[in-house]
Structure 1
């Protein structure tokens, strides 16, 4: 029985380390995209879009990045910053499932569902 608890503790420690890495990498990627966007804006003095508009869809952001538009880089940074805690919720669902703590799996899954619904509502 003690071996099972040790294995579970080691597994949870790995998951917690993974969650920490996801958070750090997500923020780092977001910061890099934001800094690139700011650098492009300062160098070109142009956002890449007319009338201070900006891309709002993922496809528009990707096209803007391919065209080296400053606001597209900044929006991608914002997107990655928003995506980071969502990935944390997904990993948490897995962690609770591994612990066989189903009440927290249900609660965290509900949080994920609410996040997705809010993204869909917020986009429209």
Structure 2
């Protein structure tokens, strides 16, 4: 094995560690935010919204967070949980680009575009 191959393997191992850290941090952060929202709901005894209402837009979620509405905080945690695998796809594109594997860069970019379109359609459908 040449020195260049060793360097490339070490670089890829570092990128795989970064991907693992991204997933771990994303899940732990989202879990902490969800737990905070649930604890606030238990402590206050309310969600911060009238019955059968909840924030469905980014604006409503962030406005609710500014005034510590428990359900808005819980929704932020769920949003972070959804974004975690999307961030993993972004890091994967970088990893494949570092490997000079153009086919997988394009495939993973296509996956990212599909995820973005699906999230956009879901947002429009409310």
Displacement of 1:98 in angstroms is: 0.5
**Unpaired segments ≥5 residues, structure 1:** none
Where 2:55 maps in the other structure, the secondary structure is coil
Alpha-carbon distance in structure 1 between the residues aligned to 2:16 and 2:37: 32
> C-alpha offsets along residues 50-73 of structure 1, whole Å, 9 cap, x if unaligned?
123111222221111111101111
- Counterpart position of 1:37: 37
Relative to the length of structure 1, the TM-score reads 0.96
**Number of equivalent positions:** 124
Unmatched segments (≥5 aa) in structure 2: none
Aligned-pair CA distance for 1:21: 0.4
State the superposition RMSD in angstroms. Answer: 1.0
1:114 match: 114
Matching residue of 1:14:
14
Cα distance in 1 for partners of 2:92, 2:27 equals 18
TM-score normalised by structure 2 residue count: 0.95
